[in-house]
Structure 1
Amino acid sequence: MNKTKQKTIELAYLILRLTMGINMLTHGIARMLNLEGFNSWMIGQFSNTILPEFMVSISSYMIPFTELILGILLILGLFTARALLVGGLLIVLLVFGSGLQENWNVMSSQMIYAIFFFILSYFIELNRFSIDKFREE
């Protein structure tokens, strides 16, 4: 592959990584700005499921911080492979929750996130424009 095409593909990867990073960052920020409201909303969403309220509450406090940290790491391209793994596992958790709620519309959206985490993970060697790559050199 010629250098121009390689650089173009690496820039495309950067754009996808940045987009996912901003998505995670803004989810985290929005939820952290109203953490108690998010917690109350989550408890209400899971009130008719088998999950005990304390587990829902713990999750509702952890999710925004996880999203915020993932967003920052993806934007910077720092610990990218680990961040993508944690992001993928977060999506697994969210899909499980949506399944318990029988919220198939939300689950469909989460499955798209799973695909994007897969793509970013599968093509991690294209992560040239990142702090990770800078640290390797």
Structure 2
Amino acid sequence: MSNQQSAYALARLPIGFSFLGHGLVRLPKLQAFANGMASSFESTILKYEFVKYFATALPVVELLLGLALLLGVKMKATSTAGIFLICILIFGSSLQENWSAVAIQLFYGLYFAILHLFADYNGYALGLKSIKK
């Protein structure tokens, strides 16, 4: 493994564990999480049921995205999916006027963009050859 490949593998770990953790802690309390998120959007233009459906799917998406990041699976597609998810979350946080959340989400978006930019350095993950494209 080259220095660039090992650096890229190490760069995937923090965001991968973050997304994995988000998914893992929310799944056991999925209905409470979804109801709470939907309730937090009552003062916005988004309908309660729409937000609840999204919030029910979100932890699963976060978990799968976290696993893909940790394993280095199809990093261009994974980072693109991550950016799209972050854009949706930024839109929601903007509707709530939650600017501190937007700032954090912008950081995640930048992190995904950097992973996308350097995806050609994706090499091995956890001792297994990862899928590059």
Say yes or no: TM over 0.5.
yes
* Equivalent residue letter for 1:31: R
1:14-67 residue CA offsets vs partner (Å, 9 max, x unmatched): 111122111111101111121011112101210100001111011101110100
Partner SS state of residue 2, structure 2: helix
The reply to whether residue 54 of structure 1 matches residue 53 of structure 2 is no
Partner SS state of residue 33, structure 1: helix
Instruction: Give the aligned CA root-mean-square deviation in angstroms.
Output: 1.5
Q: Could you tell me which residue of structure 1 aligns to residue 102 of structure 2?
A: 107
Q: Distance in 2 between matches of 1:78 and 1:9?
A: 17
Q: Could you tell me which residue of structure 2 aligns to residue 68 of structure 1?
A: 63
Q: How many residues align?
A: 129
Question: TM-score, normalising length from structure 2?
Answer: 0.91
User: Residues 107-126 of structure 1: matches in 2 within 5 Å?
Assistant: 107-126=102-121
- Which structure dedicates a bigger proportion of its chain to helix? 1
> Structure 1 unaligned runs (5+)?
1-5
> Structure 2 unaligned runs (5+)?
none
Q: Could you tell me which residue of structure 1 aligns to residue 89 of structure 2?
A: 94
Deviation of residue 90 (structure 1)?
0.4
Contact 2:72 2:124 in 1 (8 A): yes
Deviation of residue 128 (structure 1)?
1.5
Q: Could you tell me which residue of structure 2 aligns to residue 132 of structure 1?
A: 131
> If you compute each CA radius of gyration, which structure gives the higher value, 1 or 2?
1
Contact 2:75 2:115 in 1 (8 A): no
Q: Distance in 1 between matches of 2:3 and 2:18?
A: 23
Question: Identity rate of aligned residues, in percent?
Answer: 35
